[in-house]
Structure 1
């Protein structure tokens, strides 16, 4: 039986032998070796063709990335506004306090605003992909259009239309930039 494991592994390059007790100083018989796949397993072959995150992973990724980018940008903006508001008689302690307060406040505000945009985008993109069953440039552009329109809908139809158009252009530019990045910088 032990020789059978070795010959199966040699004939099947899609698996590898795994010994769960490899870090222990125990004499292990070959029957305790497991064959693990070397590539992802899917229930249906159609699932293997889709190389994309699930809707929950998509939601977490876009929301978190947008919040982080917004927080960093807001903190930088707060730093510059705090430095501009320095007065000649300020002590070092007062300057540091002003920088921390301004950076923290701006970082929270920007992070929350841009994080909400990431949340809306992720939800709309996942919905578009689920309905059309295609994950391409047009799905991202439609999600950008919907995100801009939904984000500015409370300010009126004209504001929603302009924001939707800007969102579509931004999403299209982001996808095009990603393709250019992938082409010229191999990762």
Structure 2
């Protein structure tokens, strides 16, 4: 499992074996089964998660019971309820497993410690955060400027493998359309 994390970090910054061993010592491994919750609305969120294996979704269910999917996360991605994690409040999102999952967990205190001790890791997380802000802005703008077909085509182009792993009802929820609308877009 550790090799995946090292490759992930080294896409941004090189590491010595000693540095990586130190970083890895601050993570814990978790394995979950399909349909289990990694984060559950109303609970505390002490950890951020790097996905080693499997597929998850982060979602919010409104008062009418409609699920809104904010994010999917597959191998080599991070997932969490970041508002709850960074503010140390209770989750407003659910993060649940769409497949059996293996993740590496990093507590906020351990994140702060390794960032303080290794400038390289502080740089890594800053770059990851910046890329996340850009992706979020693009997603918001796609909802403002693109129709359902445009959002579908953009998602298909960016993440074609997602369509092999995620049921169409969940893709529809992520795109903000009904299952029927998605069916019309795919024919």
Length-normalised TM-score, structure 2: 0.27
Which structure would you say has the larger Rg?
1
Q: In proportion to residue count, which structure has more helix?
A: 1
Q: In proportion to residue count, which structure has more strand?
A: 2
Length-normalised TM-score, structure 1: 0.27
Higher relative contact order (CA 8 A, sep 6+): 2
